[in-house]
Chains A and B, each alone.
Chain A
Amino acid sequence: MGEPVWGPVQEDIVGLLNDHPADVPAVVDHLTKLQDMLVRLPPLERSCPLADFNELYLTITMSVLDGLYDDRFADPVFLARLDVEFAARYFDALRYWTESSPSTPRAWSCLFRRMRGPDARPLPSAAAGVNAHINYDLPFALVTTLESLESEPVDNTDQHRDYLEINRIFAERIPELRRGYLDNWQLMIDMLNGDIDDWYQGELVEYTRNVAWRNAQKIWRCRHDPEARECERERLDGNAAALGRLLLSPLGAFLQ
Chain B
Amino acid sequence: MASDVDRAPLVGRAEQLATLRSALLDDVGPGQTAAVFVTGESGVGKTRLLREAGQRLRAGGALVLTGACLDIGDASPLHPLLQALRRFDAELAASHARTSSAVGGLLRMFAEETAGPDGAGALLERVSRGLHLIAEGRPLVLVLDDLQWVDRSTRQLLLYLLAGLGDLQLSVLAAVRAESLQGAHPLRRVLTELRRLRSVRVLDLAPLGRADTERLATEIVGGPLAPEAAESVWQRSGGNPFVVEELARDVRDGRDGVSDTVREVFLSRVDALPEPAHAVVHAVAVGVEPVAHWLLAEVTRLPEEELLDAVRAAVAHRLLVGDDDGYRLRHRLVAEVLAHELLPAERAALHRRYAEALTSAPAELHHARLAHHWRLAGEPGLALPAAVAAAREAERLHGYAEAHRHWSAALQLAAAPATGSSAAAGPLDVDRAELLRNAAEAAHHCGEHARALTLVEELAARPDALTACALHIQRARYLAAAGRSAPAEAEYRRALAAADCSPRERATAAAHLAELLLHLGRYADAGNVAREALTLAAEVEGSVSEVVLASMALGFSEAYLEDPDAGLAVMREALDTAERAGRPEDVACAYLHLAELLTGPLNILEEGVVVARRGAERVAELGLGRTYETRLLAIATNGLFRVGQWAEAEKVVAAALRHRPSGADAVELLLARCRLSVGYGDVVAADRDLEAVATVLAGGGARHVIPMLTLRSGLAMWQGRHDLARQAVQRGLTESRSDDVGILAALVWHGLRAEAEAHASRAVPVDATAVRRLREVAERVARKSEHAARPVRDVVDGFLTLCEAEVSRLDRSDPQLWARSVAEWDRRNHPYPEAYSRLRQAEALLARRSRTATAGRLLRESYRIAQALGAEPLSAEIRTLASRARVSLGERGGSAEGRPATGGGSAGDELAALTAREREVLEAVAEGLTNREIGQRLFISERTIGVHVSHIFDKLQVRTRVQASAIFLRSRAE
Contacts and interface: CB of A to CB of B under 8 A. Distances in A.
Interface in B621-679: none
Contacts of B290: none
Nearest to B737: A77
Contact of B735 (A1, A74, A81): A81
Contacts of A47: none
A99 interface: yes
Interface stretch (B157-165, B291-299, B446-454): B446-454
Contacts of B482: 151-152, 154
Contacts of A25: 727, 730-731, 734
B583 interface: no
Interface in A95-110: 99-103, 105
Interface in A73-89: 74-77, 80-81, 84-85, 88
B781 to A, nearest CB: 10
Interface in A138-158: 139-140, 143-145, 147-154, 157
A229 interface: yes
A224 B73 contact: yes
A226 interface: yes
A36 interface: no
Contacts of A50: none
Contacts of B183: 140, 219, 229-230, 232-233
Contacts of A68: 733-735
A233 B186 CA distance: 14
Contacts of B206: 99
Interface stretch (A16-24, A166-174, A241-249): A16-24
A224 B735 contact: no
Given A22-B192, A99-B206, A154-B482, A223 B733 contact: no
Nearest to A74: B738
Contacts of B182: 92, 103, 105, 140, 233
Contacts of A105: 182
Given A77-B705, A77-B737, A148-B700, A88 B731 contact: no
A147 B180 contact: no
A3 interface: no
Interface in A40-87: 65, 68-71, 74-77, 80-81, 84-85
- Greatest chain A CB density within 10 A among B206, B450, B705 is at B450
A102 B179 CA distance: 9
Interface string B26-64: 000000000000000100000000000000000000000
B41 A80 contact: no
B651 to A, nearest CB: 33
Contact of B702 (A20, A149, A224): A149
Contacts of B806: none
Interface stretch (B99-107, B231-239, B926-934): B231-239
Interface in B210-268: 210, 234-235, 238-239
A225 B375 CA distance: 15
B727 to A, nearest CB: 8
A103 B179 contact: yes
B204 to A, nearest CB: 8
B461 interface: no
B239 A226 contact: no
Contact of A157 (B235, B484, B736): B484
B41 A88 contact: no
Contacts of B180: 226, 230
A150 B698 CA distance: 12
A151 B182 CA distance: 21
Contact of A154 (B196, B450, B734): B450
Contacts of B483: 151
Most chain A Cβ neighbours within 10 Å, of B178, B207, B447, B702: B702
Nearest to B190: A148
Contact of B74 (A101, A152, A224): A224
A77 B735 contact: yes
Contacts of A103: 41, 178-179, 182
Interface in B139-195: 148-149, 178-180, 182-186, 188-190, 192-193, 195
B184 A152 contact: no
A76 B734 contact: yes
A101 to B, nearest CB: 7
A76 B736 contact: yes
Contacts of B189: 85, 144-145, 147-148
Contacts of A81: 702, 735
Given A25-B731, A77-B702, A223-B184, A150 B737 contact: no
B30 to A, nearest CB: 30
Contacts of A80: 734-735
Nearest to B75: A224
Contact of B737 (A75, A88, A92, A101): A75
A75 B180 CA distance: 29
B238 A77 contact: no
Contact of B238 (A1, A92, A226, A230): A1
Contacts of B178: 103
Contacts of B776: 69-70
A134 to B, nearest CB: 15
A80 B773 CA distance: 17
A131 B204 CA distance: 28
B179 A23 contact: no
Contact of A71 (B185, B449, B780): B780
B344 to A, nearest CB: 16
Contacts of B148: 226
B364 interface: no
B71 A69 contact: no
Contact of A69 (B186, B193, B777): B777
A226 B184 contact: no
A230 B179 CA distance: 10
| Max chain B C-beta neighbours (<10 A), residue from A88, A92, A150 | A150
Interface string A184-208: 0000000000000000000000000
B838 interface: no
Contacts of A92: 182
Given A1-B238, A20-B192, A77 B450 contact: no
B401 interface: yes
Interface in B427-468: 447-451
A92 B776 CA distance: 35
Contacts of B367: none
B472 interface: no
Given A25-B730, A105-B182, 5 more contacts: A24-B734, A69-B734, A76-B736, A77-B735, A81-B702
Task: Return the 3 tightest CB-CB contacts between A and B, nearest first.
Answer: A143-B184, A23-B731, A148-B189
5 contacts: A22-B192, A24-B734, A81-B702, A103-B178, A233-B183
